[in-house]
Each structure stands twice: as C-alpha cells, then as structure tokens.
Amino acid sequence: MRRAVCPGSFDPVTNGHLDIVGRASLMFDEIVVAVLINQSKAGLFTVDERLEMLATVTKPYTNVRVDAFQGLLVDFCRAHDVTAIIKGVRVAGDFDYELQMAQMNYGLSGIETLFMPTNPKYSFISSSLIKEVAKWGGDVSPHVPDLVAKRLQERFAAARK
Ligand code: PNS
C-alpha cells in the first residue's frame, strides 16, 4: 500500500488544503492528513476541533483519514508506514522553507517530499489570513469549506461578547 501524509497545522483547514488533499488522494492508496500538536503555540481551534473539521470535510475522499502527531514528522511517517510527504507550494517564498524541511526530512529518514503546486485559485489563501479576515467580520466563505466558515463566525462572535 502506498501511503502519503499531508502534514500541517490546519488551524483551520482551507479550500487550498482541501485541493491538495483531494489531488494527492488520486495518486496514493491512502492519504493521512496529520495535524501537528504544537505545545508551544496555542491555535484558534484545539487539535480535536481541527481533526473534527478535517474529518468532516474530507469525508468525500474515501482513502483519506485524519490523525494528529507530536514531535518529528519523520517519526510519524515511520510509525505509520508512510512513503511520501506531500506539500502544497503557493508561491516561491514557500519553496525556500519547504526545500529546507524536505532535505532535512530526507536526511533524517530517506522519506521523500513531493511538492504540489497550489491551484492558482487558492495561491493567496493561508489559515493565518483567513483568521485575520474572519476576526474582523470579513467574508471568508469563498475560501474555506462552509463548516469552517460557520465555526470561524461562531468563534469570533463568542470572542466579541
Ligand atoms: O501548516 P504548517 O504550520 O506550515 O505545517 C508545518 C509542519 C507541521 C508540516 C512542520 O512544522 C512539521 O513537520 N513539524 C513537525 C516537527 C518536525 O518534524 N520538524 C522538522 C522539520 S524538518
């Protein structure tokens, strides 16, 4: 079985992430969307909330499952028999950082990283930008799944009270 991982913070998942996951799911037997548990950075959503949103929005892809990991990504890959790491690249700036991580991960484990160019429709979308816009009441609904738009609205409405 050829299994690949799509790792990230997914705080929250965007249409850009979903596009990469969907395209990757056509190339591998199984895709694991792996959410980083980052003890030193609290997100807007808890890891459990992110996993729940991811599980819901990836439901149409029958060979995609979601999981969380702590520590090194390559250790997660070894433990889960993952052959490749898939990374979306939006702009040239992404590539510089991603290349360093890919080379480090290859050196640590021999696991390959495959870069997938983001669909240009999504190249300006990031979870950070989405949170910034949603925080001030901007409409993010074209850029995230409906469920995520709803959760963002609820989270920031609760914060304004
Ligand atoms: O969505 P993000 O925050 O850009 O994802 C970054 C992520 C989670 C893919 C990256 O930080 C990562 O792999 N972290 C795990 C720790 C690790 O393996 N670090 C060494 C990378 S060379």
Q: Which of 3, 65, 90, 135 is catalytic?
A: 90
Task: Say if residue 161's pLDDT is above 80.
Answer: no
Place of tokens 């050829």: 2
- Band of the pLDDT at 159, cuts 50, 70, 90? confident
- pLDDT tens for residues 29-52? 999 999 999 999 999 999 999 999
Q: Which CATH number fits domain 3-123: 3.40.50.620, 3.30.365.10, 3.40.50.720, 3.30.56.10?
A: 3.40.50.620
58-109 confidence digits (pLDDT tens): 999 999 999 999 999 999 999 999 999 999 999 999 999 999 999 999 999 9
Distances (CA, A) of 8 to 71, 72, 81, 136: 13, 12, 18, 25
The preferred substitution site among 38, 80, 100, 101 for testing ligand 1, maximizing ligand atoms within 8 Å of CB, is 101
